[in-house]
Amino acid sequence: MAIRFVDVHKRFGTKEVLAGVTLRIEDGECFFIVGASGVGKSVLIKHLVGLLRPDAGDVFLGDQEVSRLSEDALRPVRKRCAMVFQSSTLFDSMTCAENVALPLRKHRRMAMPDALAEARRRLEAVRMERFADALPAALGDGLRKRVAIARALTLEPEVVLFDEPTTSLDPVSARRTDQLIATLCAQEGVTAVVVSHDLTSIFGIADRVAMLYKGGVRFLGTPEEFRASDDPVVRQFVRGEAEGPMEV
Amino acid sequence: MSPGARGLALPAFLGRQALALLTQIGGLALLARDLGRAARPESGGLDRVELLRHLYRMGVRSVPVVAATAAFTGGIMVLQAAPFVEQFGAKDFVGFFATFVTFRELGPLLIGLIFNGRVGANNTAELATMVVTEQVDGLRALAIDPVSYLVLPRVVAMTLTMVALVVLGDAVALLGALGVAHVLLDVTFAQFLDSALSRLESWDLLVGLLKALLFGVGIALASCFYGLRVRGGAPGVGRAVNASVVASAAGIFITDYLSTFLLP
Amino acid sequence: MAEAIPTPGSSAALRWQLRQTVELTARTLEMTFPRQGRSAAARRALATQMHSVGNRSMPFMVVTMAFIGAIISFQTALQSQEILPDLSQVGATFTKLLVRDLAASVGALPLATRVGAGIAAEIGSMVVTEQVDALRMNNADPVETLVVPRFVACVVMGTVVLVIGGFVAFGAGVVVGQLAFGIEARTFASTALLNGGDVALGLAKCATYGGAIALVSSERGLSAFGGSEGVGRATTEAVVGSCFAIIVLNVLLSTAGYFLLPAL
């Protein structure tokens, strides 16, 4: 499913975070949104599932304008477009299996035992079956994130939004997560929108990259073009230099 | 500040307070309306798994503290009344007084306050934590309505639990009262029971249960409301809990007062 | 860490909480009367806490106690109609009950909700955000800097608030007696049954409850762990623990009062 942002504006108090973002993401693409911390990457993707509403502009998911839908009308949208949060947002009163079983129970109308059995199969896919009965609080960041990914994929969405999926993960877990995302796009035809500043992920699996800077899109292109860009701000970001023109 | 503005400081303060109060009452009413919407089957209806979990956590696990409090309070009630009972020679009335006061006032009020502190505060803290750690957004992103999944089972569980705990608390308080009446005033079990049964009307018990129901709904709505509208990270959770228990306690006393006069 | 923290809610956890509270009480009492007098900073902290416990609880307590006074007066008069030929004694009985027990014991429960939740949330957030550790690193004893001012403020201002609350409840009771039962305010506002022992017992209860609220809530706050959820849990346990402490202390003080400071 293709995604379009058309001149999206969003401000929090006096701070204008998005000052007219226009962007088109193609069907089945593995698309990375990068930028310095606090530049509004998470803010941008939360508009796709109605967790935030734009002050002005339109957000299209496929042919549907989603930014002005009611909570009730957003429900079918959210089944087709899943989100993996930066903080995983597993429900800490439930075990990992119960977390994954919840959407099955609510949307597929499965009874608890069936949903739990299905949840275990889903956890196997992310190599988490050993932790099915553990509470999320007992797991580290990387493991929690894998459960969160399994939960987001339960309803077989067409679009998955990943908010910093590899941040705070060790390098091995990070590359495994990359692999999982790449497989989703290549084999299942899922559109993945990944917010990240992990350069290894970008150059490893991205089809295209957009860099947000000062409320707008500063760069848009392939990872090779990103690496070779002669824009001083982009160059500073790619090389991770402390000194330069970039304002944070 | 100009002299004119200083003169208006008090009315401005009162106005702000009144507006804040009205905003909160309005928010509560909106939550109650959303609950009605959330109960429809197309929103997901009442989640039985969650309902059972909350019934256990809120109800079963509150039994020890409610029973202990009720037993002590029943005893204190007779202890305080004992000198007057002796002075007025009203031994035949002890059973009736104890049951009447327990059923109509003390049982619902005291257990309401304990319930507010234990279950209401806990509920606010839990929901507020879920908001602060984005778990509620996570729920919405899974296309699950937070009001239907989080609030509705909690409100139903809290209301049922509160009524059940009041029934239990009433019974235990009366045992406490009977114990002290027996030791201090030589009132026998038969006297106590006879006094209660001959004068008490079933209406008295009903009023108490009705109060319990109102308190339960009130505490449930307030604790969910303050939990869901938390602002400002971890310190916000503490503030939300504080606001919730204070608002519920005030609500309990005001409801109690009104029902004392309106339900004779 | 020397010992593992028991699972919350278990009986081992309750015993642990009790022991911690007793230890904290001893250390607080020891530091409440410093040999070298109080520093300017300590006096400022004390003033802040007194303002928070006293002034900032007043609106809530006044409203609550007015309703409580009205309810008690209404029920006392209503029940007395059953056994007494005239209602001239009701006022004196109401006053005596209020002074001897109810103003302190019933008023302390909402006070515990308001103040106890605040203390636990405040200290608890400081613990989970490692501010208490920072205090320790600067050689400031958390008990001395955090608990002592709250303890003194609760004992002093708690008593003041409860006494004022008692007067408010008394006033509300007189109004209800006049309006609902036609008892002359002059007859109703009678101190005929009151003696010095009643006042002493009432004041002792106020001060004890105030101190208990501060200590139980501070202990829960200092034992908080695990982020905002831990702060919420500490707050809940502080309110329930304070209410329970008040009820148990009431049994002890009322029993002692029954024998040492006879009512009649």
Predicted local confidence at residue B3, as pLDDT = 53
- Dist CA B174 CA B78 (whole Å): 10
- The residue length of chain B stands at 264
With beta carbons less than 8 A apart as the criterion, state whether C205 and C252 touch: no
Question: Residues of A with CB below 8 A from B126's CB?
Answer: 93
Both tokens assigned to C72:
């008690």
Show which subunits contact A, needing at least 3 CB pairs below 8 angstroms. Answer: B
With beta carbons less than 8 A apart as the criterion, state whether C229 and B133 touch: no
Would you place residue B5 in the very low, low, confident or very high pLDDT band (cuts 50, 70, 90)? low
Tell if the CB–CB gap between C264 and B116 is shorter than 8 Å: no
Predicted local confidence at residue B70, as pLDDT = 92
Shortest alpha-carbon distance between residue B76 and chain C (Å): 6
pLDDT tens-digit map of A141-200: 888 999 999 999 998 999 999 999 998 888 998 998 999 999 999 988 999 999 998 899
B10 dihedral zone (left: phi>0; alpha: psi -120 to 50; beta): alpha
Tell if the CB–CB gap between B233 and C228 is shorter than 8 Å: yes
Q: Which of A55-64, A223-232, B211-220, C185-194 has the lowest mean pLDDT?
A: C185-194
As a whole number, the mean pLDDT across chain C is 87
For A32-91, the DSSP string reads: EEE-STTSSHHHHHHGGGTSS--SEEEEEETTEE-TT--HHHHHHHHHHEEEE-TT----
Task: Quote the Cα angle for B11-B12-B16, to 5°.
Answer: 115
* Beta pairing, strands A15-25 & A3-12: antiparallel
Q: Which of C19, C30, C8, C6 is nearest to C147 (CA)?
A: C30
What's the burial of C163, exposed, middle or buried (CB within 10 Å: 0-12/13-18/19+)?
A: middle
CB atoms near residue B25 (< 10 Å):
11
Tell if the CB–CB gap between B141 and A105 is shorter than 8 Å: no
Would you place residue B115 in the very low, low, confident or very high pLDDT band (cuts 50, 70, 90)? very high
Shortest alpha-carbon distance between residue A173 and chain B (Å): 22
Shortest alpha-carbon distance between residue C34 and chain B (Å): 31
- Predicted TM-score of the model (pTM): 0.82
Question: Residues of C with CB below 8 A from B101's CB?
Answer: 75, 79
Predicted local confidence at residue B76, as pLDDT = 87
Tell if the CB–CB gap between B145 and A71 is shorter than 8 Å: yes
Both tokens assigned to A33:
């949104």
Would you place residue B246 in the very low, low, confident or very high pLDDT band (cuts 50, 70, 90)? confident
Question: Residues of C with CB below 8 A from B65's CB?
Answer: 240, 244
Beta partners for residue C102, in sequence order: none
pLDDT at B98 over 80: yes
With beta carbons less than 8 A apart as the criterion, state whether C126 and C220 touch: no
Shortest alpha-carbon distance between residue B143 and chain A (Å): 5
Q: Which of B121, B134, B116 is nearest to B238 (CA)?
A: B121
Tell if the CB–CB gap between C74 and B133 is shorter than 8 Å: no
Would you place residue B8 in the very low, low, confident or very high pLDDT band (cuts 50, 70, 90)? confident
Question: Residues of B with CB below 8 A from A107's CB?
Answer: 143
- Model ipTM value: 0.84
Predicted local confidence at residue C14, as pLDDT = 81
With beta carbons less than 8 A apart as the criterion, state whether B228 and B136 touch: yes
With beta carbons less than 8 A apart as the criterion, state whether A211 and A34 touch: yes
Tell if the CB–CB gap between A79 and B143 is shorter than 8 Å: yes
**Residues C71-87: what's their mean pLDDT?**
79
Among the residues of chain A, which ranges form H helices?
A: 41-46, 71-80, 96-107, 112-125, 141-153, 171-188, 199-205, 223-228, 232-239
